[in-house]
Amino acid sequence: MPLKIHIKSGQQIIINGAVIENAGPRNVSLVVKNEASILRSNDILTPENASTPANRVYYALQCMYLFPGQKDKYLLQFNELIDSYVEAAPSSQDTVGEIREFVENEQFYYALKKAQVLIQHEYEVLANVQQEFVE
């Protein structure tokens, strides 16, 4: 089933590893007629912005999704990062379990969506630690 993507002026998307930017003054629409790995601007994490443990997990997943030819390399990184994360934050076990299941089934897009929950979890854990420190 074709997927119609609307791209605003200046917005970027990644399709199968290729970064595509709407450089024109108007919005454009693209129709992707076959299966492809697609991320929109707001879901793309740059290496420079992968500065926290949960963001690094997300980045490794993003690379597995966008660059299937290098999946093994990023899978190794992902496993190391996710193991460290759950060890440091045991309260993340349920979310991590779901992410691992998506990865095992090679459903990387869904793993990315669940990793966004992990990023939120990390934010909440750090906020709680900061609050306890202030008190």
Q: What is the reported pLDDT for 126?
A: 79
Q: What is the reported pLDDT for 47?
A: 92
Q: What is the reported pLDDT for 129?
A: 64
Q: What is the reported pLDDT for 45?
A: 93
Instruction: Identify the segments of the chain with pLDDT beneath 50.
Output: none
Q: What is the reported pLDDT for 131?
A: 64
Q: What is the reported pLDDT for 127?
A: 78
Alpha-carbon span 121 to 117, nearest angstrom? 6
